[in-house]
Amino acid sequence: MSKSAVQSFPVLLQKFFTQRLVQQRHASPRTVEAYRDSFRLLLAFAHQHLHKRPSDIAIEDLNAPFILDFLGYLEHGRHNSIRSRNARFAAIRSFMEYVSFEEPSALALTQAVRAIPTKRFEQPLIGFLSREHIEAILAAPDTDTWTGQRDHVMLETLYNTGARVSELTEMRVSDLVLGSTSWVRIHGKGRKDRSVPLWPDTAKELRRWLRQYPRAPEESLFPGRSGASLTRIGFTERLKLAVHRASQQFPELAHRRVSPHTIRHSVAMHMLQSGVDITVIALWLGHESPVTTHRYVEADLQMKERALKALQAPSRKPLRYRPKDDVLRFLQTL
């Protein structure tokens, strides 16, 4: 490996982010942030184990055994899930692919790293809440307070749209269209925007919310106390509080792990159980492929039970062979 290739890691990393991701691939800010965080973890791990500052690391340091050690650290040291481990590794593989073109002398190293397989993992059964549980959570916030009013309309909007938590917290006032037909523009993953209609009750709550606390079009629809967008952690804490209050009515909720994604799953399951076509649900949730949405069909036990009842059980009475033709009858007599 040439000396220039060994010393070029800091430059290659900067070019990977600024040229490859931003300029060439036009990656979304979320993708850039995810890749950035992956390399922050990798560089911190290298500093601890190689005793090198990020600016001193060379490409040859990031060989396959080292990357395997890093992936093992993610699983066993940080206790990341296999899904998270694979996501971090995807950033490294993408970088190594870029390096293989920019520095052909490092081709053997990059191929070895890219040959590391991603780990397979079991898809957990999709968890979702009943309509009664959802209604109790939506009614839980104390609407006598500003935060309670925000939480109530925010949870209503979440259940109406099935938005991801990042999509919900990034909603702006300008994304709302409140009229005879009300809808909200959702800025999805990979810069894929979609428009989702709002129920009349949701639109009414949003009108009341903006009338009581008016804000400029570019401001956050559901801000924190500082006026800035509510963070993912902040929203999760507000949801936990609503679930805790709802558990006073439904004690079983105290033993459920209810995340923002659980609400999203519940939206999909309730739509599916109401007879909404799976392709419409995929569009509603912003799934890139209906294959992702198909997991909800797999999880709907009630739908399976209805299918079982519609399917006649096989008869237990043994069938007797009866020839239907003269030739067959003749052969039967032999």
- Judge whether 287 counts as a catalytic residue: yes
CB 96 within 8 A of CB 113: yes
Residue 97 has pLDDT above 70, yes or no: yes
Catalytic residue among 40, 261, 304, 329: 261
Q: Residue 60: which residues within 8 A CB-CB, separation 6 or more?
A: 1, 5, 6, 106, 109
Residue 161 has pLDDT above 70, yes or no: yes
Residue 192: per-residue pLDDT: 79
State what percent of residues in the chain have pLDDT above 90: 57
- Judge whether 189 counts as a catalytic residue: yes
Query: What is the arithmetic mean of pLDDT over 118-123?
Result: 74
Residue 2: per-residue pLDDT: 45
Residue 4: per-residue pLDDT: 44
Domain spans of the chain?
3-114, 131-309
Residue 332 has pLDDT above 90, yes or no: no
Q: Look at phi and psi of residue 275 and say left if phi exceeds 0, alpha if psi is from -120 to 50, else beta.
A: left
pTM value? 0.61
Catalytic residue among 150, 264, 265, 270: 264
Measured CA to CA, the distance from residue 177 to residue 181 in angstroms comes to 8
Measured CA to CA, the distance from residue 14 to residue 168 in angstroms comes to 31
Catalytic residue among 35, 98, 159, 296: 296
Residue 32 has pLDDT above 70, yes or no: yes
Residue 204: per-residue pLDDT: 95
Catalytic residue among 15, 30, 189, 294: 189
- Judge whether 51 counts as a catalytic residue: no
Residue 293: per-residue pLDDT: 63
Residue 1 has pLDDT above 60, yes or no: no
Residue 313: per-residue pLDDT: 52
Residue 275: per-residue pLDDT: 81
Token reading at 32: 């850039």
Residue 8: per-residue pLDDT: 72
Domain 3-114 sits in CATH 3.60.15.10: no
Residue 281: per-residue pLDDT: 82
CATH of 131-309 given 3.30.1490.20, 3.40.50.150, 1.10.443.10, 3.30.70.360 = 1.10.443.10
Q: Is the dihedral of CA 255, 260, 265, 267 positive or negative?
A: positive
Read off the pLDDT band of 193 (50, 70, 90): confident
Q: Which of 56-65, 124-133, 168-177, 200-209 has the lowest mean pLDDT?
A: 124-133
Catalytic residue among 93, 133, 152, 164: 164
Query: pLDDT by residue (tens digit) across 284-328?
Result: 888 766 556 666 555 555 555 555 565 555 555 665 656 566 666
Q: Which helix (H) or strand (E) holds 209?
A: helix 200-212
Measured CA to CA, the distance from residue 182 to residue 199 in angstroms comes to 8
Catalytic residue among 85, 150, 172, 287: 287
Query: pLDDT by residue (tens digit) across 134-154?
Result: 999 999 999 999 999 999 999
Residue 110 has pLDDT above 80, yes or no: yes
Read off the pLDDT band of 274 (50, 70, 90): confident
Same fold, 3-114 and 131-309: no
- Judge whether 53 counts as a catalytic residue: no
Mean of the per-residue pLDDT values of the chain: 85
More confident residue, 231 or 73: 73
Residue 290: per-residue pLDDT: 59
Query: What is the arithmetic mean of pLDDT over 158-166?
Result: 91
Q: Which of 137-141, 203-207, 267-271, 328-332 has the lowest mean pLDDT?
A: 328-332
The angle that helices 301-310 and 260-273 make with each other, rounded to 10 degrees, is: 20
Residue 321: per-residue pLDDT: 58
